[in-house]
Amino acid sequence: MILTTSDVVAGKRLVKTLGLVRGNTIRARHIGRDIMAVLKNIVGGEIHEYTKLMAESREQSLDRMQEQAGKLGANAVLSVRFTTSMLMGGAAELLAYGTAVILEDE
């Protein structure tokens, strides 16, 4: 399945728009990761534990969005976007969304 942030794919033509698809995940922080984050905040630098957590969240959201698109019969999702929101202290939602379509070769 093609996933793209653009609304066109070179060499393909849009045959049918199937609608909005989305996938989300809600993740909570882990006390062990928080301790490392506090230490990194003092000395500076990347917080690898949170970087890994966000990467896993993005992949899970994309997988869920792609699964929903597949159920609609799509072979591509155009205009893919991500958004995040805080739900409560220590927990956040990551949402991936886009437009499920059917593309054919030109």
pTM of the model: 0.84
SS3 106: coil
Report the candidate in 91, 86, 80 with the shortest Cα–Cα distance to residue 22: 80
Write the pLDDT tens digit of every residue in 45-65: 777 777 888 899 999 999 999
Architecture of domain 2-105: 2-Layer Sandwich (3.30)
What is the residue extent of each domain of the chain? 2-105
Higher pLDDT, 71 or 32: 71
Return the structure tokens found at 37. Answer: 């984050």
Taking all residues of the chain, what is their mean pLDDT, rounded to a whole number? 88
Residue 52 is inside which H or E element, if any? helix 48-72
